Amino acid sequence: KAGVTQTPRYLIKTRGQQVTLSCSPISGHRSVSWYQQTPGQGLQFLFEYFSETQRNKGNFPGRFSGRQFSNSRSEMNVSTLELGDSALYLCASSPATGVNNYGYTFGSGTRLTVV
């Protein structure tokens, strides 16, 4: 079966702009989580969505937001981009909420560069 699909793979944006990243989970998976990976901070949890509701949120400013659609696809948005937002954004899907229950399957990520 198809894995987790993230689009686009690469993005270059200018400081101050906003960006939307997309994630399509594995068919049948209803939970989508987002993680940010940077050289300095490593991998950090952004948020998790399940049945179109945000279930959990990491310690990130309000510029970072997301949503989930009825088909479980998810988007995350970053407004007023800063240079420090340059990162690999990874999406993970799971059949249900919480990583402990079923684990995650990760996508290949979207590499965002802010200039």
Partner 1 sequence: AQKVTQAQTEISVVEKEDVTLDCVYETRDTTYYLFWYKQPPSGELVFLIRRNSFDEQNEISGRYSWNFQKSTSSFNFTITASQVVDSAVYFCALSEGDSGYSTLTFGKGTMLLVSP
Interacting residue ranges for partner 1, rule: CB under 8 A? 3-4, 33, 35, 42-45, 48, 50, 55-56, 58, 88, 90, 92, 96-101, 103-109, 111
Q: How far is the CB of 16 from partner 1 (least distance, A)?
A: 26
Looking at the Cβ atoms of 5 and 79, the one nearer to partner 1 is: 5
Contact 46, 52 (CB under 8 A): no
Q: How far is the CB of 98 from partner 1 (least distance, A)?
A: 4
Looking at the Cβ atoms of 25 and 109, the one nearer to partner 1 is: 109
Query: Whole-angstrom Cα distance, residue 14 to residue 90?
Result: 21
110: nearest Cα among 29, 5, 1:
5
